[in-house]
Amino acid sequence: MQQIQAALTGISSKAVAKEWLKILTLACSFSGLSGAKSPWDLADLALKVQIRWKGHSRYNLQALSVACGISQKRLCLLARTAQFFPPQVRFKQLSISHHIEAMKRDPERASYWLEQASEKQWSSKDIRLAIAGDGDPRKFSWLRCGTFWYFSHCDPRFGIDYPGRIPGQIPANVIHYFTDPGDLVIDLMAGSGSTVDAAKLLERRCLGYDLVSVRPDIQQNDALIGIPSEAWGAKLIFIDPPYGAIAKGFYDNHPHCLSQMNQRDFLNALRTVANNCRKALLTEGYLAILVQNVYGWVGDTVFQVIQQFTDDQWNLVRRIQVPLSNHQISSSVMKWARENRQMVNTDRDLLIFQMSQEH
């Protein structure tokens, strides 16, 4: 078999082995700490093995992967990159990671993005963000791909100083994923206006309401009473209610302020607000609500909200983890936690519902 293969490639099996040995020697120089070789050398070597040793049962990319301790998947990617960017079109001042990002995210305009990266001194991550953000990596610096959205700080572009203000990066991601430019987004408990600002950046129309308005572009409205007709036809309604005693005293002393309510009244109030949303939401629209467990309340609030909404004919389409960051926990709460042998609850979920079509 080996003889046939060697005959086919026009060299003896001994010569094949010798040639392969050379490759391995070169490959081993990538596995050590010497780091003398550039990643492009490895990429070129991987490509060479892929082409020259295609179909060889013994000498192939898998063997190369074992020799240099780099996964076969990575070697395949490097080979693809080397093929995509022959030496004469590579941007010497940029890393291979820049080239990989450009090739993977926008192969047709890869060179354009590399030119931009070179000119504007972008990192390889900036290329991905710039492609998503029509050329501005900062516009989408908050973008999250999975279902775990952790933000340690509030992006100053979204919202103003306000008790209970959330990182506007949270509504920004919901808006990005669940609406299109021009769609109407509403926030029924808008507080500092984080959603309003995020929607503006993303070119959505937005109306913000709150029991107490602290900005001229947020209108006074009680979500328990209803939603003004100007907000009907919304693609997304965002709600970030105040949770129990955590927020007591921060907001209005109004009896309809959700922060004043015990667990039962709070869940009932959410039911009323969700019912009001039915009128304002487009049939295919989304209701996004931030839910967290409350110390002293019985059971798991997130579970209870899901159950209640499901009973009320809402379908849960997505559940995203959006934990509170350490810096949102005040020193007095931390002290209390230690004294009472309690952990401070930092888990929080964003539940995205759609109206069941059977309703």
Ligand X SMILES: C[S@@+](CC[C@H](N)C(=O)[O-])C[C@H]1O[C@@H](n2cnc3c(N)ncnc32)[C@H](O)[C@@H]1O
Return the structure tokens found at 246: 């955590």
The C-alpha atoms of residue 192 and residue 250 are separated, in whole angstroms, by 13
In the complex with ligand X, the residue whose CB is nearer, 75 or 269, is 269
In the complex with ligand X, the residue whose CB is nearer, 91 or 295, is 295
CB of 265 to ligand X, least distance (A): 11
CB of 165 to ligand X, least distance (A): 4
CB of 359 to ligand X, least distance (A): 23
Q: Which residues bind ligand X (CB under 6 A)?
A: 159, 162, 164-166, 188-189, 191-192, 194, 210-212, 222-224, 240-242, 251-252, 256-258
CB of 254 to ligand X, least distance (A): 7
In the complex with ligand X, the residue whose CB is nearer, 136 or 217, is 217
**C-alpha distances in Å from residue 276, one per residue of 100, 162, 210, 224:** 48, 26, 15, 8
In the complex with ligand X, the residue whose CB is nearer, 86 or 163, is 163
CB of 138 to ligand X, least distance (A): 20
CB of 201 to ligand X, least distance (A): 15
In the complex with ligand X, the residue whose CB is nearer, 37 or 278, is 278
In the complex with ligand X, the residue whose CB is nearer, 78 or 166, is 166
In the complex with ligand X, the residue whose CB is nearer, 32 or 228, is 228
CB of 228 to ligand X, least distance (A): 12
CB of 224 to ligand X, least distance (A): 5
Q: Which residues touch 96 (CB under 8 Å, ≥6 apart)?
A: 38, 39, 40, 43, 78, 81
| Cα atoms in the Cβ-side hemisphere of radius 13 Å centred on 318 | 18
Residue nearest to ligand X (CB): 191
In the complex with ligand X, the residue whose CB is nearer, 64 or 234, is 234
The C-alpha atoms of residue 117 and residue 109 are separated, in whole angstroms, by 12
Q: Which residues touch 78 (CB under 8 Å, ≥6 apart)?
A: 39, 42, 43, 46, 47, 96
